[in-house]
């Protein structure tokens, strides 16, 4: 493999980011961009590999990338998958300087905080089987991977940073399992009610955990979480959210959905849940008492 960087365009000035039209951002993530340029048809490869293929095929007259911003970012990070570069760019509104800072922090996170972290540590924090905080389930109606999140199983005295690392390990493993040819997109179902036999710590004592999760996911897995469904959520809380989301960027606000429903331990989700996922894609007995085996959804 050649040691030189890919023969693609030089980085653009980041000060131009604010003046870019929405058209370029659409082109950047457009799944049909493969019809417009060579590089974007190979998102699972690194820019360096794409460049080698491009050179080998003697396609000098065919541009590698349609987006000049993407080409510039690829020039800076030739050994990171193109699909990953796209997600970080979009997360920072195509501003190369901001996207670079974000990606650099992600690289540091993986090479320092996650370097010695292993599955045994993840299990000790998240639990396993019926007592696991996080569960990989089926597919949502939009085709995204479902992850179940049960905060009631978080251990008392849990270190927030360690929990964040455990969740990062869990999510990365799911992405790896999906394989290189599937764009990682997740739907998170977050249950707030109690489960008989669980730790059931009050939500207020878990705020530092939730902040850590938000930070880890936002900083290291941008454009990965498609939808977050939180349930059951009281009416007054949903009313307050309608006001609060006016102060949250529209992109983030559009990903969060709060559902009503019974707050009783083991109660089934609100019927609106099935507008997001099919019942047969959610683990049976997910919200059932821990002392019992799986029970059909809608029962127990």
CATH numbers and ranges of domains, the chain: 14-111 (no CATH), 119-281 (3.40.525.10)
What mean pLDDT, rounded, does the chain reach?
A: 82
The conformation of residue 169, written as its DSSP 8-state character, comes to H
pLDDT tens digits, residue range 35-84? 467 777 788 899 999 999 888 877 777 778 878 888 999 999 999 999 99
Residues 185 and 139: beta-carbon distance below 8 Å: no
Which DSSP state fits 248?
S
SS3 33: helix
Question: How large is the average pLDDT for residues 178-201?
Answer: 90
Q: What is the pLDDT of residues 237-290, one digit of tens each?
A: 565 556 555 555 567 677 888 888 888 888 889 899 999 999 999 998 889 998
Q: How far is CA 243 from CA 66, 238, 247, in A?
A: 40, 9, 8
> What's the pTM value of the predicted model, to 2 decimals?
0.81
Residue 6: which of 61, 58, 46 has the closest Cα? 46
Q: Yes or no: say if 232 and 261 are a contact pair by the CB < 8 Å rule.
A: yes
Q: Which residues contact 219 (CB under 8 A, 6 or more apart)?
A: 102, 105, 106, 109
Task: Please give the span between the terminal C-alpha atoms of the chain, in angstroms, as a whole number.
Answer: 59
Tell which residue, 188, 182, 247, has the closest CA to residue 214.
188
d(C-alpha 90, C-alpha 86), whole Å: 6
User: Does residue 293 surpass a pLDDT of 60?
Assistant: no
């Amino acid at each position: 493999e050649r040691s030189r960087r890919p023969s693609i365009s030089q980085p653009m000035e980041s000060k131009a980011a604010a003046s870019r039209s929405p058209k370029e951002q659409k082109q950047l993530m457009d799944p049909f961009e493969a019809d417009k340029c060579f590089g974007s048809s190979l998102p699972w490869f690194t820019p360096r590999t794409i460049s080698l293929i491009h050179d080998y095929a003697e396609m000098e007259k065919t541009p590698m990338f349609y987006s000049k911003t993407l080409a510039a970012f690829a020039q800076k990070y030739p050994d990171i998958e193109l699909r990953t570069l796209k997600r970080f760019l979009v997360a920072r509104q195509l501003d190369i300087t901001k996207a670079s800072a974000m990606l650099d922090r992600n690289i540091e996170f993986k090479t320092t905080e996650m370097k010695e972290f292993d599955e045994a540590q993840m299990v000790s924090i998240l639990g396993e089987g019926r007592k696991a905080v996080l569960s990989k389930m089926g597919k949502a109606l939009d085709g995204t991977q479902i992850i179940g999140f049960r905060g009631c199983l978080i251990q008392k005295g849990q270190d927030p940073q360690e929990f964040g690392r455990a969740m990062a390990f869990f999510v990365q493993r799911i992405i790896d399992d999906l394989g290189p040819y599937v764009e990682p997109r997740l739907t998170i179902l977050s249950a707030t009610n109690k489960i008989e036999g669980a730790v059931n710590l009050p939500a207020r004592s878990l705020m530092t955990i939730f902040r850590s999760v938000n930070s880890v996911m936002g900083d290291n897995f941008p454009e990965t979480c498609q939808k977050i469904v939180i349930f059951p959520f009281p009416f007054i809380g949903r009313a307050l959210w309608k006001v609060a989301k006016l102060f949250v960027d529209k992109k983030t606000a559009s990903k969060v959905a709060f559902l009503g429903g019974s707050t009783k331990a083991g109660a089934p989700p609100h019927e609106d849940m099935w507008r997001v996922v099919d019942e047969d894609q959610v683990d049976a007995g997910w919200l059932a008492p821990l002392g019992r085996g799986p029970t059909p959804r809608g029962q127990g």
